A and B are shown apart, each in its own frame.
Chain A
Amino acid sequence: MADSPLLSVRNIEVRFGGLIAVAGVSFDLNAGEICALIGPNGAGKTTLFNAVSGNVVPNGGSIRFRGEEIAGLTPHEISALGGRRTFQNGGLFPELTALENVLVGLHVQVGSDFLGLLFGRSSARAEVAATKRARELLSLMDIEHLAEQKAGALSGGQQRMVEIVRALATNPHLLLLDEPAVGLSPAARQQLAVVVRDLARTRNVGILLIEHAIELVMSVADRVIVLNDGRKVADAPPEQVRADRSVLEAYLGHA
């Protein structure tokens, strides 16, 4: 496991009817590495994300995660293997409190089985332990004061933080962040950058990040992959990508 990458994507292709959304993209992601996916709207970033998280079944290619083929697995199976994601907008459960959101994130770890629950003593102990853990997680991000608030009533920035806490609840190996900086204040973006870098450096989480906020990308990413029309046009450290002509073309069109 030490040598092979955490995530290995090979020739992934996703078609919607006649439209080719992702056309044979390959890349690797190592544990502890932060990789940003950028590209103009419609370049296939979110579709590629969905293929990795199981929300879309790729038409071709292979995705290996921790040595296991995951292309075509369901989202809950990939989640259980340790691949977690956040959503571009509204990924929380708005009617549940922030704490309950995190508890749902812990779902697979709350050990209570159906029949034992109904006829056994009680699942209270498992629930109390999970609740304690969920509060700890919220306090790690300094948002424990929001625990009892309904997620739908939180500000955009607070919702992002809750969603990230929720995604981290089970100590995932891979974190997919879909435009986490949208709607965040500059201060909140700074905080987000610190959190993301910390996750990669100290917890060795591999992070794949879709982001339009280019200064965030440049400040946190170890590598930047540029997509255009479903194809990979660049895969390099941020400073190199910044200077790349093909990237300019992807964003501005051909001269």
Chain B
Amino acid sequence: MRLRRVFWLLPIVLLPLPWFLNQYQQYVLNTALLYVPVGIGFNLVVGNLGLLAFSNVAYFGLGAYASGVLMAQLGVPWWITLLPAALIGGAAGAIASIPALRGVRLFYLAIMTLAFGELMRWTYIRWEALTGGSMGMAVPMPDLLGWSLDTDLRRFYVFLALVVMLVTITDRLLRSRFGRAFMAIKDNEVAAAAMGIPTDLYIVLAFAWGGAVVGIGGAMFAISVGHLTPVSFDLTELLRQFAIIMVGGLGSLAGTIIGAVIVTVAPQVFISFPGFDELVFGLLIILVILFLPRGLASLLARAHPAFVERYYRG
């Protein structure tokens, strides 16, 4: 029954990993790590709450620009910008939940929230004074309490710590009555309300919490790439993020982690064929939908019942 705890050994096993990788591989590893929070927020809304909201890229971009702009314009230390990045991502999430509160669902919700992400991308392009427009902006070299985060190796340990923290908190949330309420809303919204669950409040909560976690992912992205351009937050990026939760498994925290790694690492196979890497997301999504509709995490669940993510066990 306690096999799940094996998961907590994972970060310890990962500690020496970057020492065996070259600098580019370390960068890819960091990218996989930062996509864990990005996927967590997306999966919370789409997988657990069951609402087809495609505004994830908006929170991601806002978190990235919030962090980058605060560092570049005001000289705020990176680790402090994590808070405004989370707050702005969370606020954007709350705003994106408005159509859902008005009863907009399915494709209509998908299109409206997709538009939100595109609107933000145009905002980054137009608001040149802050963002540098389509040419982008350089993100200053970050440091953590005087310790320079100037290498991928150093960023790796900070990212790992952040990811462990966010995964722990999310795991707790999902295995509580809140996580169960999200799943109840997904399964049967009317019955959920009849059980005393204030469904509107919980929808806002899931969107805002998801947006905040994604915003932190954006702040990690900002210092990982060191240069922010609006093109990083386009529809292809949305497809990549969607691939993470689809391939990993909708509504599964383990799935989000698996998906973040696969979707980041798999395209590296085609690194010398530009354009092919995007093909990989599409192919991965198609293959998983055909053969593993519940994502790669369902393989884990099939391997051992302890990996079935039921959220009420203490």
When C-beta atoms are compared, the residue in chain A nearest to B311 turns out to be: A100
Question: B190 is contacted by which of A55, A84, A114, A122 (Cβ under 8 Å)?
Answer: A55
Could you tell me if A128 and B314 are in contact, using CB atoms closer than 8 angstroms?
yes
A8 within 8 A of B: no
Tell me the A158-204 residues at the B interface (CB within 8 Å): 166, 170
Cβ 8 A contact of B197, one of A54, A104, A125: A104
Contact, CB under 8 Å: B172 / A91: no
Tell which of B180, B193, B198 touches A100, judged by Cβ atoms closer than 8 Å: B180
List 8 tightest A-B contacts by C-beta distance, closest first.
A124-B314, A93-B187, A79-B196, A75-B193, A108-B196, A110-B177, A104-B184, A80-B196
- Is B195 within 8 A of A118, CB to CB? no
Residue of B nearest to A80 (CB): B196
Decide: A92 near B191, CB < 8 A? Known: A104-B184, A104-B197, A107-B180: yes
Interface of B is mostly: helix
CB distance from B230 to the nearest CB of A (A): 33
B227 on the interface (CB 8 Å rule)? no
Q: Is A97 an interface position by the 8 A CB rule? A: yes
Q: How far apart are B168's CB and chain A's nearest CB, in angstroms?
A: 9
CA gap between A79 and B195 in the complex, in Å: 6
Residue in B173, B186, B191 whose CB lies within 8 Å of A117: B173
Q: Which residue of B lies closest to A119 (CB)?
A: B169
In the complex, are the beta carbons of B191 and A107 less than 8 A apart?
no
A-B contact pairs, 25 of them (CB 8 A): A54-B193, A55-B193, A55-B194, A75-B193, A75-B194, A76-B193, A76-B197, A76-B199, A79-B194, A85-B194, A90-B188, A91-B188, A93-B183, A93-B188, A94-B187, A96-B187, A103-B177, A104-B197, A105-B195, A107-B196, A114-B178, A117-B176, A122-B314, A131-B313, A131-B314
Provide the residues of chain A in CB contact with B176, threshold 8 Å.
110, 112, 117, 123, 127
Pairwise interchain contact B184-A96, C-beta atoms closer than 8 A = yes
Task: Find out whether the CB atom of B205 lies under 8 angstroms from the CB atom of A104.
Answer: no
Residues 163 to 211 of chain B near chain A (Cβ within 8 Å): 169, 172-173, 175-178, 180-181, 183-184, 186-188, 190-199, 205
State whether B172 touches A122 (Cβ < 8 A).
Answer: yes
A96 to B175 Cα, complex, angstroms: 13
State whether the Cβ of B304 lies closer than 8 Å to any Cβ in chain A: no
Chain B residue, CB-CB nearest to A86: B194
Shortest A105–chain B CB gap in Å is 5
Interchain nearest-CB distance for B188 vs A (Å): 5
Chain B residue nearest to A124 in the complex (CB) = B314
Residue B8 interfacial (CB < 8 Å): no
* Min C-beta distance of A75 to chain B, whole Å: 4
Residue in A closest to B198 when the chains form the complex, CB atoms: A76
Q: Does A246 contact B (CB under 8 A)?
A: no
Main SS at interface, chain A: helix
Asked whether, in the complex, the Cβ of A131 is within 8 Å of the Cβ of B181, the reply is no
Chain B residues in 8 Å Cβ range of A112? 176-178
Number of interface residues of A (CB under 8 A): 42
Among A99, A105, A125, which residue has its beta carbon within 8 angstroms of that of B312? A99
Cross-chain contact A107 with B188 (CB below 8 angstroms): no
The answer, yes or no, to whether A130 is at the interface (CB within 8 Å) is: yes
Complex: A99 Cα to B311 Cα, angstroms: 11
Quick check: is B310 within 8 A (CB to CB) of the other chain?
yes
Q: Which of the residues B187, B199, B312 comes within 8 Å of A95, measured between beta carbons?
A: B187
Given contacts A93-B192, A95-B187, A127-B313, 18 further A-B contacts (CB under 8 A): A55-B190, A55-B193, A74-B193, A76-B199, A79-B194, A90-B188, A96-B183, A97-B310, A100-B312, A104-B181, A105-B195, A107-B180, A107-B197, A110-B176, A112-B176, A117-B172, A123-B177, A127-B175
Q: Which residues of A contact B188 (CB under 8 A)?
A: 90-94
Asked if residues B314 and A127 are in contact (CB atoms below 8 Å), the reply is yes
* Contact indicator A125/B191 (Cβ below 8 Å): no
Considering the chains assembled together, what is the distance between the CA atoms of A117 and B180 in angstroms? Answer: 14
Determine how close the nearest CB of chain B comes to the CB of A112; give it in whole angstroms.
6
A170 cross-chain contacts in B, Cβ below 8 A: 196
Chain A residue at minimum C-beta to C-beta distance from B190 = A55
Of the candidates B188, B193, B196, the one having the most CB atoms from chain A within 10 angstroms of its own CB is B196
Interface residues of A in 120-169 (CB under 8 A from B): 122-128, 130-131, 166
**Cβ of B172 and Cβ of A103 under 8 Å apart?**
no
Q: Are A118 and B172 in contact (CB under 8 A)?
A: yes
Given contacts A74-B193, A76-B199, A114-B205, contact A107 B169 (CB under 8 A): no
Which residues from chain B contact A93 at a C-beta distance below 8 Å? 183-184, 187-188, 191-192
Residues of B within 8 A of A130 (CB): 177, 312
Cβ-neighbour of B314 out of A80, A87, A125 (below 8 A) = A125
Q: Assess the B198–A95 pair: CB atoms within 8 A.
A: no
Residue of A nearest to B177 (CB): A110
- List A contacts of B313 (CB < 8 A): 127, 131
A76-B219 Cα distance, complex, nearest whole Å = 37
B177, B186, B195, B205: which contacts A127 (Cβ < 8 A)?
B177
